[in-house]
Amino acid sequence: MRYDLSLLSLCLLGALVVPAAAQQPQSSNPSVQFLNPPTMPKPPGYTQVVEAMGPGRIVYIAGQLGYDAAGKQGGDFRTQATLVFENLKAAVESVGGHMDNIVKLNTYLTDIRTQLPIVRDIRDKYVNTAAPPASTMLEISKLAREGALIEVEAVAILPAR
């Protein structure tokens, strides 16, 4: 099935309507607000709602696996997770952004019970923990490449060029 990305973007942004009384953590990008409405449960380490306003660029970063620039896969989970976040950092920097511009993360793990605390620890070294991205984390049975233990995709909002 093929999706029209501009329509999808408008739908995603339109779905992010929250009460004005919602908490608003600080953001380094004034056109983005990170909100945890008091009418929703307080999340551990992520933001419930991210609102993007005004002109800007939406950057979609494909799922990153634990490989270095030479294509070598990391061995253990911690190494793979660190490589994933280094790859996300390189991706957002390649378009003139930084990790604070990431507003949404989708994380796929092969063993959520043992990997969740490790990935949270590593993620928190890369993202703004005062205004963390909206996040979804799932356990799946297998990733696209043999031996892959984690995959993370991201959406970033950057100022217009």
Is the per-residue pLDDT at 16 higher than 90?
Answer: no
Report the percentage of the chain scoring pLDDT > 70.
81
Alpha carbon 98 to chain centroid, angstroms: 12
Q: Are 35 and 50 in contact (CB under 8 A)?
A: yes
Q: Amino acid identity, residue 44? A: P
Q: Amino acid identity, residue 88? A: L
Mean pLDDT score of the chain: 82
- Domain regions of the chain by residue span: 5-158
What is d(CA 100, CA 93) in angstroms, rounded to the nearest whole number?
11
Q: How confident is the model at residue 76 (pLDDT cuts 50, 70, 90)?
A: very high
Q: How confident is the model at residue 6 (pLDDT cuts 50, 70, 90)?
A: very low
Identify the CATH homologous superfamily for domain 5-158.
RutC-like (3.30.1330.40)
3-class SS of residue 70: coil
Q: Are 23 and 35 in contact (CB under 8 A)?
A: yes
Sequence-ordered alpha helix ranges (H) in 48-111: 77-93
* pLDDT value, residue 27: 55
- pTM score of the predicted model: 0.75
* pLDDT value, residue 45: 78
What is d(CA 93, CA 98) in angstroms, rounded to the nearest whole number?
5
Is the per-residue pLDDT at 74 higher than 60?
Answer: yes
Q: Which residue has the higher pLDDT, 36 or 8?
A: 36
* pLDDT value, residue 15: 38
